[in-house]
């Protein structure tokens, strides 16, 4: 029996679609990291400066986290053996949830397998088909999928447009269903910050539930990286706070913070929580250690922001379009270099890679048509020398390809 399926016709329509992407120049092969997720690393056999990862604080390789994972593996093994509601709740899972709830100064927390499942599982659990979701147009895919799964009616407001959000709320204010206002804390493709205070005002005025997805704000914004609720000091005004353990925290997972009753409800109703196995103990231990690092090494966050200010300024001086004209202006360590054309963007990313700089090209459908970009992300662990070398390459390749003058 041949094991190849290449000759079977049932899936040939997928091959056709990939061939279309190849013709358009936006097909990609996965880049393979051969050593650690670090500011300088080896990808596809090439030594590169990495300005693509979400490893904001360098915690993927922090000695204390590494040791915590090893110690938990020695003591508790490699897997949890079941979903949380059956036999897969270990003491270390509860300790992590308590740690996060305490850190965020909320009543309770539930940890999911990822930020994606935290969003999708929560939105779909707390709303039903009589309800309404008022959602920013640039919200993350996991929010969109959760909204669809909930079967609630979805009303999308123009990016950060409070007046538009209010218009949509007015349209449904006399309907009996629940209303949920939802925004990213930091928008992942543009690096701008969601308008939490104004959205909280709206939520209070119209009796809506307020939810924030802080994936890119966890460990980055607010005191010790407590996120946008802390950054804006809107404590007590956001009903559902989602965060991720996969980006600045350096491991894997997502969480929801809120009232005891909300968390208890999610324990009973959130489908990824009920139907997918919990984290290995090593991951839970890693995350606990990460929150200890946030509390005890706030200088990492200062370093992250120092690098961010330097790199953003230099990119601007080189003449790159780093947003703010007909795209949102970044306010965080995410700085897009807007190119526009999808193929030129992918070619730019490939040329940068050949010259030793790794930053990913992002095109439609992840960003709108005509707004393709390479996205740069700073970390606390980039050295000044690494950033200067990356900027030299960006300048050289940018000029050669006519992207800057």
* Contact residues for ligand PLP, defined by CB under 6 A: 114-116, 119, 140, 142, 184, 188, 213, 215-216, 244, 246, 254
Question: Do the beta carbons of residue 342 and residue 26 sit within 8 Å?
Answer: yes
Nearer Cβ to ligand PLP (139/349):
139
From CA 80, how far away is CA 87, in angstroms rounded?
Answer: 8
Phi, psi (rounded to 5 degrees) for 362: -130, 120
Determine contact, residues 26/363, Cβ cutoff 8 Å: yes
Are 122 and 256 within 8 A, CB to CB?
Answer: yes
When the beta carbons of 166 and 230 are compared against ligand PLP, the nearer one is 230
Active-site choice (188, 246, 278, 379): 188
Tell me the C-alpha distance between 232 and 221, whole Å. 9
Phi-psi sector, 323: left (phi>0), alpha (psi -120 to 50), beta: left
Q: What residues pair up with 241 in beta bridges, in sequence order?
A: 212, 257
140 is catalytic: no
Are 150 and 142 a contacting pair, CB within 8 Å? no
Q: How far is the CB of 191 from ligand PLP (least distance, A)?
A: 11
Which C-beta is closer to ligand PLP: that of 256 or that of 397? Answer: 256
Is 247 considered catalytic here? yes
What sign does the dihedral 74-251-116-98 (CA atoms) show?
A: positive
Q: Measured from the CB of residue 137, what is the shortest distance to ligand PLP in angstroms?
A: 13
Gap between the Cα atoms of 147 and 132, Å rounded: 9
> Which among 216, 303, 312, 371 is annotated as catalytic?
216
Q: Name the residue nearer to ligand PLP (CB basis): 119 or 381.
A: 119
Q: Which is nearer to ligand PLP, 80 or 122 (CB)?
A: 122
Give the CA diameter of the chain. 66
Q: Whole-number minimum distance, CB 16 to ligand PLP, in Å?
A: 30
- DSSP secondary structure letters along 68-92: HHHHHHHHH-S---SBTTTT---HH
Q: How far apart are the C-alpha atoms of 44 and 357, rounded to whole Å? A: 12
**Would you put residue 172 in left (φ > 0), alpha (ψ -120 to 50) or beta?**
alpha
User: Of 140, 179, 247, 382, which one is the catalytic site residue?
Assistant: 247
**Minimal distance, residue 288 CB to ligand PLP, in Å:** 17
Q: Any idea which residue has 């915690």 for tokens?
A: 59
Tokens of 145: 């999928």
Structure tokens at 371: 């707004």
Residue 188 catalytic? yes
- Dihedrals phi, psi of 359, to nearest 5 degrees: -145, 135
Least CB distance to ligand PLP at residue 115 (A): 2
Of 157 and 394, nearer to ligand PLP (C-beta) is 157
Least distance between ligand PLP and beta carbon 37 (Å): 13
CB of 114 to ligand PLP, least distance (A): 3
Q: In terms of CB distance, is 244 or 282 closer to ligand PLP?
A: 244
Instruction: Find the length of the chain.
Output: 405
List residues bridging with 377 in a β-sheet.
334
The sign of the CA dihedral 165, 166, 172, 175 is positive
Give me the least distance between CB of 110 and ligand PLP, in Å please: 14
Nearer to ligand PLP, 209 or 397 (CB): 209
Residues designated as active site:
188, 216, 247
């Amino acid at each position: 029996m041949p094991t190849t399926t290449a000759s079977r016709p049932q899936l040939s329509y997928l091959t056709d679609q990939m061939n279309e992407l190849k013709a358009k120049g936006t097909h990609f092969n996965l880049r393979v990291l051969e050593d650690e997720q670090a500011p300088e690393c080896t990808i596809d056999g090439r030594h590169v400066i990495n300005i693509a990862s979400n490893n904001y604080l360098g915690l993927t390789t922090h000695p204390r986290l590494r040791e915590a994972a090893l110690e938990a593996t020695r003591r508790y093994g490699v897997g949890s053996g079941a979903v949380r509601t059956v036999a897969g709740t270990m003491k270390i899972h509860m300790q992590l949830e308590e740690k996060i709830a305490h850190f965020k100064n909320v009543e309770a927390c539930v940890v999911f397998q990822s930020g994606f499942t935290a969003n999708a599982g929560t939105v779909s659990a707390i709303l039903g088909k009589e309800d309404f979701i008022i959602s920013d147009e640039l919200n993350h895919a996991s929010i969109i999928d959760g909204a669809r799964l909930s079967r609630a009616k979805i009303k999308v407001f123009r990016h950060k447009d409070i007046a538009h959000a209010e218009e949509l709320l007015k349209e449904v204010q006399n309907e009996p269903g629940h209303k949920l206002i939802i925004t990213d804390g930091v928008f992942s493709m543009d690096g701008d910050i969601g308008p939490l205070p104004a959205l909280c005002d709206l939520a209070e005025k119209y009796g809506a539930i307020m939810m924030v997805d802080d994936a890119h704000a966890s460990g980055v914004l607010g005191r010790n990286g407590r996120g946008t609720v802390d950054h804006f000091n809107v404590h007590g005004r956001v009903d559902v706070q989602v965060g991720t353990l996969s980006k600045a925290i350096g491991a894997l997972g997502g969480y929801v913070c809120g009232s005891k009753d909300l968390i208890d409800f999610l324990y009973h109703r959130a489908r990824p929580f009920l139907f997918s196995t919990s984290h290995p103990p090593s991951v839970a231990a890693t995350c606990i250690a990460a929150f200890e690092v946030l509390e005890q090494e706030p200088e990492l966050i200062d370093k992250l922001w120092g690098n961010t200010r330097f790199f953003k300024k230099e990119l601007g001086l080189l003449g790159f379009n780093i947003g703010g004209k007909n795209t949102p202006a970044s306010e965080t360590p995410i700085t897009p270099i807007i190119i526009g054309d999808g193929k030129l963007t992918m070619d730019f990313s490939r040329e940068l890679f050949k010259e030793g700089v790794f930053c990913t090209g992002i095109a439609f459908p992840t960003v709108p048509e005509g707004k393709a970009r390479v996205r740069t992300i700073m970390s606390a662990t980039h050295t000044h020398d690494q950033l200067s070398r990356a900027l030299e390459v960006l300048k050289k390749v940018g000029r050669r390809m006519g992207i800057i003058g």
